[in-house]
Amino acid sequence: MARPGAACPPPARRVMVAARALLFWALVYSYCGVCACIAGLRLLWSIGRRPGETFRWVVRENPPACLNDPSLGTHCYVRIKDSGLRFHYVAAGERGKPLMLLLHGFPEFWYSWRHQLREFKSEYRVVALDLRGYGETDAPSHKENYKLDCLIADIKDILESLGYNKCVLIGHDWGGMIAWLVAICYPEMVTKLIVVNFPHPSVFTEYILRHPSQLIKSGYYFFFQMPWFPEFMFTLNDFKVLKSLFTSQATGIGRKGCRLTAEDIEAYLYVFSQPGALTGPINHYRTIFSCLPLQHHEVIMPTLLLWGERDAFMEVEMAEITRIYVKNHFRLTILSEASHWLQQDQPDIVNKLIWTFLKEETKRKRE
């Protein structure tokens, strides 16, 4: 609805806007169909080769020991008043210390920050959250409950429920998207922003429409628009797709990285093999095309962007373009031998870079 007193756009412009919207949604659903066809062919190929293995699904009733490792912190829960949802998180470090809030990507959960929970607890209250719909956090059934404004409000409400009014905010992948948006919408709540392998959202939406190569790499965004089928494809061959994401040569952690152990992989399989555990995470993507592009763009706090150059899902060119949206100190570090799973792939280097950024900003303020 137009604002009172605002001039109505001329007919030619309205037609142009409508045409662009039509082309955009035609692209979305056409590519969704292409991705679905490719997935269907893979399913048929798997059934033809190993029909007995295709639908195998191991029931995992007990979590692996690593998920209850006391060195990682304490498992906690907080219920948000407005939404009524209960969130699960793991916290390390003393209460009262500055808050460092960690937002994971897909398909991950709090455990992807295990190296950072151990590292930063000496000076921070480090909280690794299970996002809405993930792990032990409540998962609303309707996809409309996963719109970006709901996810942004979650972070604001959790911060307040933890007794803080500001934090160092760190996000990876989809958690990086949310971190950017929280920094844009609630700049007073973010003292420093650190994002791992996700560009500014405006860069992403503009770049993907102009670069077919990135459109292909982001094919899962379109595939996830379908109901139930993406979840089903993840379960095949006892969640082979999930394992491959972290271990395959194409998308996994490289030879020089800190590879996931068998127990680490089992932790992921335990969480995502629970009944209905994949629907919430995939619902995050099912409303994305109705939420972007953004109306507000600028980030006004000091920002660190870390990027694994071997990212199979995000082209590195987007990292440098991000600089134009940060109206404060901006530091970009690209690690040439690192994958998309950067904080797990190169934890020692990532932790050192974060420490340097945090100390550097503290020193700059004193001066």
Q: What residues are labeled active site?
A: 173, 285, 340
| Helix or strand run (H / E) with residue 77 | strand 74-79
Phi and psi torsions of 139, nearest 5° = -125, 95
Structure token pair of residue 139: 């998962």
Alpha-carbon distance of 180 to 186, in angstroms, equals 10
Count of beta carbons in the 10 Å neighbourhood of residue 183: 24
CA atoms within 13 A on the CB side of 271: 26
Main-chain phi, psi angles of 81, to 5 degrees: -65, -50
Token pair listed for 10: 């001329």
Give 270's contacts (C-beta < 8 A, 6+ positions apart). Answer: 60, 62, 63, 64, 67
Task: State the amino acid at position 292 in one-letter form.
Answer: L
Task: Give CA–CA dist 181/192, Å, rounded.
Answer: 13
3-state secondary structure of 241: helix
Strands, E assignment, 234-341? 303-308, 330-335
**Cβ proximity of 162 and 138 under 8 Å:** no
Query: Are 252 and 339 contacting, i.e. CB atoms less than 8 angstroms apart?
Result: yes
Query: Under a CB-based contact definition with an 8 Å cutoff, are residues 78 and 33 in contact?
Result: no
Write the CB contacts of 106 (distance below 8 Å, at least 6 apart in sequence).
173, 174, 281, 284, 285
Residue pointed to by tokens 């440098």: 320
**Unique residue bearing structure tokens 């109206």:** 327
Q: What is the largest CA-CA distance in the chain?
A: 67
> For residue 195, how many C-alpha atoms fall within 13 Å in the half-sphere facing its CB?
31
Amino acid at 83: S
